[in-house]
Amino acid sequence: TGKTFFVDLSRCTGCRGCQIACKQWKNKPVEPTENTGSHQNPPDLSWQTLKVVRFSEKTIDGKFHWLFLPDQCRHCLDAPCKMVGDAEVPDAIMQDPQTGAVVFTEKCKGLNAQGIREACPYDIPRVDKATKLMYKCDLCNDRIHAGMVPSCVQTCPTGTMNFGDRDEMLALARDRLAKLKVKFPKAELVDADSVRVIFLCTQPPSAYYKHLQFGDAGPRPLSRKAFLAKVMRPLR
């Protein structure tokens, strides 16, 4: 139930249309930036950049790959950020029962932002130091309730970004995976059973970005259950 993104990375050209569409819909300004030796720009997410297309150059099995990842909040089914937030201010982080969107509300001002950041397995939330408010993608929940698709999905010209009812998206994801496996035996769906933004990779997830897959950046054997138990320890 609820909504889900299916993001087929085999189709992404790194055009950044989705990144710009997100800024436009969210009315966020461009930020001053600098050349970091990568085509990725800006270099990271921020409270004003809720979606960033990450660029990675990797040689895998002797073959060069230029990999693109349109990175955003995954809208986890059991969201660790919400579990930690609820222990401090209940429903400051809201989960829409209809769409499944995980949304940071104004009440987040009272939360320990560092704790929320550490709880997120995908390193998503960012804080505006001036207002102490936390920001991230909200699934364009307002657009969905108005019968539209998220702004980034609407803009994507290549069929990378897809959006719809969860069952429909899971079926599409499994169908595309089966087709891609013929050419890319390593292809996989990332954390499909626990998130609402499901990426299809043709290369190992860590080649795209260290936080693409749950647990990749931390100690690998930590299971989802053990991780949740860890983040749910009583807060200071």
What residues make contact with ligand SF4 under the rule CB under 6 A?
Answer: 12-18, 21-22, 25-26, 50-51, 53, 68, 70, 72-76, 79-81, 102, 120, 122, 124-125, 136-140, 150-152, 155-156, 158, 160-161
CB of 233 to ligand SF4, least distance (A): 16
119-130 burial: b if 16+ Cβ within 10 Å, else e? bbbbebbbbeee
Give the C-alpha distances (Å, rounded to integers) separating 32 from 3, 46, 109, 124, 131: 34, 12, 26, 20, 20
CA distances to 14, 145, 164, 191, 211 from 215, in Å: 25, 32, 27, 10, 8
Report, in Å, the least distance between residue 11 CB and ligand SF4: 7
For ligand SF4, the closer of residues 22 and 207 by Cβ is 22
CB of 8 to ligand SF4, least distance (A): 9
Rank residues 138 and 188 by Cβ distance to ligand SF4 and give the closer one.
138
Q: Which is nearer to ligand SF4, 12 or 177 (CB)?
A: 12
Instruction: CB nearer to ligand SF4: give 185 or 208.
Output: 208
The string of DSSP letters for 153-187 reads HHH-SSS-EEEEEHHHHHHHHHHHHHHHHHH-TT-
Minimum CB distance to ligand SF4 smaller for 81 or for 177 = 81
C-alpha to C-alpha distances, 167 to 4, 156, 174, 189, nearest whole angstrom: 8, 21, 11, 15
Per DSSP (E only), the strands in the chain are: 3-8, 52-60, 63-71, 93-95, 102-104, 126-127, 134-135, 161-165, 188-190, 197-201
CA distance 42 to 175: 33
CB of 220 to ligand SF4, least distance (A): 19
* Least distance CB 84 / ligand SF4 (angstroms): 9
CB 81 → ligand SF4: shortest distance, Å?
3
In the bound state with ligand SF4, the residue whose beta carbon lies nearer, of 26 and 186, is: 26
